[in-house]
């Protein structure tokens, strides 16, 4: 795994007007300056240069350059805006390293795979050893807290607990209902309709890898439109309810007390009658409704051929596109045989063979399993909805489908006329309150989270949390980051707050 580092690092220097400079390096003035410099290194001086050491994986270094913190700038001699940047030198012993005020890092992959990657474990152990020896040095953000948002199951459980504690009235957005699929769904779902309705969810559902980073498929999502699409999944995966949200996503960026909101396009609202599944990369442009419908039509046609039946268009709107057939789909979609037709400026949809460690260049739509195919039995671990107090439990078959009212309402929302649907809206005040709750929940200072607003109920949902995202929507990110780093140093040693704590302090939540 490629690794790169660069750091924000420097010495605190006195800015007092009454300090004697001395001449020739001798005399009382020079001795006084030495004593004051030593005292500043021990106690810190908010008027001096902030010394920040930081270490990023190579990919993060590239994104930092995109937002104005290039490697050349970081390595420039001398401080900029009161902050000086240097790489952490892991080849030195922690006790020999230059003094630091703050450690800034994006080592999510090291944290995720610490138990199996010795090099990553060594880097994290070095940071921990340095902080143990320098308790006044702050870290953005503490390693144990970052670990809570790189595993999607852990993240959703924390969001669920926070929602139970605060609720919508307390400013906490609601997490989606979810389950964890740990084994393959059988081809015959049984009388109860399959694992999804058995666990209180309704199709369509969106399925995500458990790992939120560190694998080639971490950002590859599968939307399962009906029971036939379940065969596209390679467990374990997190299965979440889909909410009609007007194809509008609100990305919230948090840097300390600074909260910014940016609106982006999202998945389209999906009408009933679609079949199979489709896959997309959440870091690339989302597929359009027309492309999803075409993928569904191709899946339906393949299923009909496998069963020896003539293909007829379903009620998913495919009849409106007479040029589409089982062999013709938009350029973003690959057919089951890997051939591509049409053209599109966007990359093709990824192949839904598995969500972990797959070749990122293989893309195609999914097809349903032929009748009579055999698959292993499904086993899931299920977390109940925020309105329930049940603990995680093994999902067991029930005599009849038990789709929750919330899930049924979400599934029916796409059928409402546009006149009855609300245009999703998120106020800055709501985003700020949500950011406050998220900071309390995760104890982070540099993070982002994604919100959607249900276009029928108007309820806000939090669907993703990311530590230290690209912040590419913030034109002034370098200045905001430097300001935050100085704030952390200025508050070090005071009563602990929500983030940016000295390494020997603990948060009070």
Q: Tell me what the mean pLDDT of segment 155-165 comes to.
A: 98
Q: Is residue 504 part of a domain?
A: no
User: Would you state the structure tokens that stand for residue 498, as one six-digit string?
Assistant: 């929500």
**48-52, 455-459, 505-509: which has the minimum mean pLDDT?**
505-509
User: What integer pLDDT is reported at residue 349 of this predicted model?
Assistant: 39
pTM, entire model:
0.71
**Angstrom distance (rounded) from CA 26 to CA 21:** 10
Per-residue pLDDT tens over the stretch 215-271: 888 999 999 999 989 988 989 999 999 999 999 999 999 999 999 999 999 999 999
User: What integer pLDDT is reported at residue 191 of this predicted model?
Assistant: 61
User: 311 with 239, same domain?
Assistant: yes
User: What integer pLDDT is reported at residue 310 of this predicted model?
Assistant: 60
User: 117 with 160, same domain?
Assistant: no
Q: Among all chains, which residue has been given the structure tokens 């939120």? A: 212
Q: Is the pLDDT score of 318 beyond 80? A: no
206 or 384, which is more confident:
206
Per-residue pLDDT tens over the stretch 472-490: 889 899 899 999 999 999 8
306 or 34, which is more confident:
306
User: 102 with 176, same domain?
Assistant: no
CA-based nearest residue to 255, from 104, 481, 443, 450: 481
Q: Tell me what the mean pLDDT of segment 342-349 comes to.
A: 39
Ordered alpha helix ranges (H), 338-452: 405-413, 428-442
User: 105 with 153, same domain?
Assistant: no
**Angstrom distance (rounded) from CA 493 to CA 490:** 9
User: What integer pLDDT is reported at residue 104 of this predicted model?
Assistant: 94
DSSP 353: T
Length of the chain equals: 509
User: What integer pLDDT is reported at residue 407 of this predicted model?
Assistant: 54
User: What integer pLDDT is reported at residue 192 of this predicted model?
Assistant: 64
In this structure, the dihedral spanned by the alpha carbons of residues 152, 157, 158 and 159, taken in order and rounded to 10 degrees, is 90
Yes or no: say if 273 and 316 are a contact pair by the CB < 8 Å rule: yes
Q: Is the pLDDT score of 275 beyond 60? A: yes
Which positions ≥6 away from 481 have C-beta within 8 Å? Answer: 69, 255, 446
Which domain range does residue 296 map to?
149-467
User: 485 with 400, same domain?
Assistant: no
User: 344 with 378, same domain?
Assistant: yes
User: 26 with 67, same domain?
Assistant: yes
SS3 state of residue 79: coil
User: Where residue 437 sits, what CATH number does that domain have?
Assistant: 3.30.470.20
Average pLDDT for the chain: 73
Q: Which residues are 258's β-sheet partners?
A: 255
Q: Is the pLDDT score of 337 beyond 90? A: no
Q: Is residue 159 part of a domain?
A: yes
**Angstrom distance (rounded) from CA 405 to CA 200:** 9
Which positions ≥6 away from 21 have C-beta within 8 Å? Answer: 29, 30, 33
DSSP 172: P
Quick one: pLDDT band at residue 170, thresholds 50, 70, 90? very high
Sort strands 220-224 and 277-281 into parallel, antiparallel or unpaired.
antiparallel
Q: Is residue 54 part of a domain?
A: yes
CA-based nearest residue to 240, from 210, 269, 270, 216: 210
Yes or no: say if 405 and 223 are a contact pair by the CB < 8 Å rule: no
Q: Which residues are 180's β-sheet partners?
A: 238, 381
Sort strands 248-255 and 446-453 into parallel, antiparallel or unpaired.
antiparallel
User: Where residue 73 sits, what CATH number does that domain have?
Assistant: 3.40.50.11370
User: 331 with 213, same domain?
Assistant: yes
User: 327 with 427, same domain?
Assistant: yes
Q: Is residue 498 part of a domain?
A: no
User: 366 with 485, same domain?
Assistant: no
256 or 360, which is more confident:
256
Quick one: pLDDT band at residue 491, thresholds 50, 70, 90? confident
Q: Is the pLDDT score of 420 beyond 80? A: no
Q: Is the pLDDT score of 500 beyond 60? A: no
User: 225 with 251, same domain?
Assistant: yes
First to last CA, the chain: 36
Q: Is residue 30 part of a domain?
A: yes
User: What integer pLDDT is reported at residue 343 of this predicted model?
Assistant: 37
Q: Tell me what the mean pLDDT of segment 411-432 comes to.
A: 72
**Angstrom distance (rounded) from CA 132 to CA 82:** 26
User: Would you state the structure tokens that stand for residue 252, as one six-digit string?
Assistant: 């919230």
Q: E-assigned strands of 58-127?
A: 83-87, 102-106
User: 459 with 418, same domain?
Assistant: yes
Element (H, E) at 52: strand 50-57
Yes or no: say if 439 and 498 are a contact pair by the CB < 8 Å rule: yes
User: What integer pLDDT is reported at residue 35 of this predicted model?
Assistant: 58
Per-residue pLDDT tens over the stretch 113-153: 999 999 999 999 999 999 999 999 999 999 999 999 999 99
- Counting the structural domains of the chain, the total is 2
Q: Is residue 390 part of a domain?
A: yes
Q: Is residue 107 part of a domain?
A: yes
**Angstrom distance (rounded) from CA 285 to CA 280:** 8
Ramachandran angles phi, psi of 236, nearest 5°: -85, 145
Q: Is residue 506 part of a domain?
A: no
């Amino acid at each position: 795994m490629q690794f790169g580092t660069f750091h924000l690092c420097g010495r605190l220097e006195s800015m007092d007007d009454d300090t004697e400079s001395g001449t020739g390096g001798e005399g009382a003035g020079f001795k006084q300056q030495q004593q004051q410099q030593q005292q500043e290194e021990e106690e810190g001086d908010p008027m001096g240069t902030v010394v920040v050491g930081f270490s990023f994986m190579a990919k993060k270094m590239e994104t930092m350059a995109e937002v104005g913190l290039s490697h050349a700038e970081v390595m420039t001699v001398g401080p900029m805006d009161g902050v000086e940047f240097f790489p952490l030198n892991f080849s030195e012993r922690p006790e020999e390293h230059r003094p630091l005020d703050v450690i800034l890092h994006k080592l999510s992959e090291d944290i995720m795979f610490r138990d199996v990657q010795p090099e990553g474990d060594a880097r994290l152990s070095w940071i921990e050893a340095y902080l143990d020896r320098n308790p006044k040095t702050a870290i953005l953000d503490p390693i144990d807290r970052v670990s809570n948002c790189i595993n999607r199951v852990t993240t959703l459980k924390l969001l669920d607990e926070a929602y139970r504690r605060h609720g919508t009235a307390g400013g906490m957005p609601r997490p989606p209902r979810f389950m964890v699929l740990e084994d393959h769904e059988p081809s015959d779902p049984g009388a109860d309709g399959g694992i999804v309705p058995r666990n209180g969810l309704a199709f369509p559902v969106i399925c995500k890898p458990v790992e939120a980073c560190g694998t080639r498929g971490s950002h590859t999502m599968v939307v399962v439109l009906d029971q036939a699409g379940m065969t596209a999944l390679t467990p374990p995966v997190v299965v979440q309810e889909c909410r009609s949200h007007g194809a509008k996503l609100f990305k919230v960026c948090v840097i300390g007390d600074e909260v910014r909101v940016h609106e982006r396009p999202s998945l389209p609202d999906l009408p009933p009658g679609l079949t199979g599944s489709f896959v997309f990369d959440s870091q690339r442009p989302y597929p359009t409704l027309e492309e999803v419908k075409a993928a569904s039509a191709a899946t339906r046609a393949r299923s009909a051929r496998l069963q020896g039946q003539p293909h007829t268009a379903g009620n998913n709107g495919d009849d409106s596109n007479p040029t589409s057939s089982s062999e013709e789909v938009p350029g973003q979609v690959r057919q089951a045989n890997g051939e591509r037709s049409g053209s599109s400026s966007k990359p093709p949809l990824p192949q839904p063979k598995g969500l972990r460690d797959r070749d990122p260049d293989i893309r195609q739509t999914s097809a349903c399993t032929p009748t009579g195919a055999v698959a292993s039995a499904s086993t899931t671990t299920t977390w109940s909805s925020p309105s329930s107090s049940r603990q995680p439990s093994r999902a067991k078959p029930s005599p009849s489908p038990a789709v929750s009212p919330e899930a049924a309402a979400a599934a029916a929302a796409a059928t409402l006329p546009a006149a009855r649907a609300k245009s999703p809206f998120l106020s800055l005040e709501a985003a700020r309150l949500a950011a406050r709750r998220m900071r309390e929940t995760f104890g982070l200072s540099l993070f982002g989270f994604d919100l959607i607003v249900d276009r029928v109920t108007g309820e806000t949902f939090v669907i993703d949390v990311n530590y230290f995202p690209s912040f590419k929507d913030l034109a002034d990110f370098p200045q905001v980051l430097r300001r935050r780093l100085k704030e952390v140093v200025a508050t070090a040693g005071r009563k602990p707050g929500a983030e940016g704590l000295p390494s020997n302090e603990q948060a009070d939540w």
